Structure 1
Amino acid sequence: DKKNQQKLIIRLRDISKIKELEIKLEETENYIKKISKLEDSEKKYRDNAELLPDVIFEIDLNLTLTYVNSIAFDKFGYTKEDLRAGLKITQIVDPESLEEVSKNIKLLLKGRDTLPHKYLLVKKDGSKFYAMVHSKPILKNEQIIGIRGTITDINNLVLAEKELKESEEKFRTIAEQSLMGICIIQDFEIKYLNHQMAEIYGYPIDEVKRWKPKEF
């Protein structure tokens, strides 16, 4: 019966493009979330770096400084404009330490760990100071993209060690020329005696140094 006939209309629509767009939007959203987390992490890192008493630095594969904390500007005398203009890490290294710095940078960029090293560094005004530098490779997607490190000023310590060494050398020179017997005992061990003291005891210096407290 035509009166009782019902019509069924089926409308087909290609939504594959929409699905592709939804997938892309989802991927973009996930990427943005990932970047936001990285930015938050990076911000926290930079905020913490500003609180440290030591210099924090980062260099890229061209050895150009890409980041330093605020104390670095005070320590080396450079400005943010100098950093933006392109400042090489080699510009703050004295020629005395440049060869060792270059060697360790090559090792780090190959993924090798290096021990902290003492270097002689140079400020913008030409003045120099000794520093202990700790460095590690910067990784991104399992690829080395640069180096991050800390610089600790140890100039006073190095100068004190030099003065102590010079003082010891002067003492030894005077002691060896003295007509008196001179002996230094520390922690119940003979640390030093001059030739005059050895002659007084009648034994070689090396043998006297091996004596125990009772034997002495």
Structure 2
Amino acid sequence: MQEITERKNSEEKLKESEEKFRTIAEQSFLGIAILQNDTVSYVNEQLAYKFGYTTEEIMKWGVGGFMKVIYPDDRKMVAEQAKKKQSGEPDTVNQYQFRGIKKNGNIIWLEIFSKTINYKGKPADFVTIHDITEEKLAGQKLKESEENFRTIAEQAFMGTLIIQNDQVTYVNDALLQIFEFSQDEVNYWKKDNLLKLIHPEDLHYLREYREQLRSGESDIKPYYSYRVFTKYGKIKWIDQFSRPIIYRGKPAELVTIMDITEKKKSRTRISKTQQLKIGAS
């Protein structure tokens, strides 16, 4: 009699536990499913919605039926992980990303968190899924934008660099040629490395100019001319244009530099010639 009572109590607790699980799962914004014996033993509304099916349709899928919503190139990995977790095997990957196929044929990106659980007395694969399609598309667009920027910058005759968190995160070939450095030499450069290239007599004025830019003064020119040293000690005159940008999702400074050394020399020669003419007259 006691054995029967204990069994009933155990069944009631199991029933209560399952009801609590379903209540939580149905209110979750994550897609949730339980795989057992390669069939879907449970699926919530969110997961069904992500794939464009109803829960009733998914629950009718047979053995291995869930594989039809996995992108072909990702099926091997997903199937392997699902099998291991349904068997309770060790050495599993609990979190990874894969592509899914909606009922209408659209491809979506998903992030899965899964692990082995005991479900109705047997091992099963407890799966939670998050749709990351928008994040993936945003990342892809950002990558394409950066590639387009690099393509344009590498063909430009003006030097270009990006400074972020006082770190030089990008320089183009034109800038390397102006300062006579190689790419390897400027890797991991910080803002202080750039300051050392500025002629000491111009550093104070450049700081004043940058402070005016930061304060938002409207009556200042969009560039500043100053002298710099190259790697081999040559003195060059440059025009610098700077503006704030968002780079890889964070604030940064885009700096464009033009070598105006020859223009400065030409102006100096013209000025001297004019002075000589005035003196001769």
Q: TM range, normalised to the smaller chain?
A: 0.7 to 0.9
Query: What TM-score, normalized to structure 2?
Result: 0.63
Bigger-Rg structure (1/2) = 1
Task: Say if 1:65 and 1:86, in contact at 8 Å, map to a contact too.
Answer: yes
What is the identity, as a one-letter code, of the residue corresponding to 1:162?
Q
Equivalent in the alignment of 1:167: 145
Q: How many matched pairs?
A: 190
Equivalent in the alignment of 1:81: 56
- What is the alpha-carbon root mean square deviation over aligned residues? 1.8
- Give the Å deviation of 1:103: 2.4
Deviations 1:136-163 (A, max 9, x none): 112258852x211101011000000000
Query: Given the alignment of the two structures, is residue 200 of structure 1 paired with residue 178 of structure 2, yes or no?
Result: yes
Query: Given the alignment of the two structures, is residue 105 of structure 1 paired with residue 82 of structure 2, yes or no?
Result: yes
2:136 is paired with a residue of what secondary structure? helix
Structure 1 residue corresponding to 2:24, chosen from 40, 48, 69: 48
Q: Return 5+ residue gaps in structure 1 as ranges.
A: 1-24
Distance across 1 between alignment mates of 2:190 and 2:101: 49
Instruction: Select the structure that is richer in strand.
Output: 2
Deviations 1:14-72 (A, max 9, x none): xxxxxxxxxxx3212210110100100110011011111011101112x2111111222
Task: Say if 1:129 and 1:155, in contact at 8 Å, map to a contact too.
Answer: yes
Query: Given the alignment of the two structures, is residue 152 of structure 1 paired with residue 127 of structure 2, yes or no?
Result: no
Equivalent in the alignment of 2:117: 138
What is the identity, as a one-letter code, of the residue corresponding to 1:29?
T
Query: Given the alignment of the two structures, is residue 122 of structure 1 paired with residue 101 of structure 2, yes or no?
Result: yes
- Give the Å deviation of 1:86: 2.2
Provide the identity percentage: 32
Q: Return 5+ residue gaps in structure 2 as ranges.
A: 195-281
1:73 is paired with a residue of what secondary structure? helix
Task: Say if 2:45 and 2:54, in contact at 8 Å, map to a contact too.
Answer: no
Task: Say if 1:107 and 1:114, in contact at 8 Å, map to a contact too.
Answer: no
What is the identity, as a one-letter code, of the residue corresponding to 1:117?
Y
Task: Say if 2:161 and 2:168, in contact at 8 Å, map to a contact too.
Answer: yes
Query: Whose relative contact order is higher, 1 or 2, with alpha carbons under 8 Å and at least 6 apart?
Result: 1
- Give the Å deviation of 1:110: 4.0
Distance across 1 between alignment mates of 2:58 and 2:189: 61
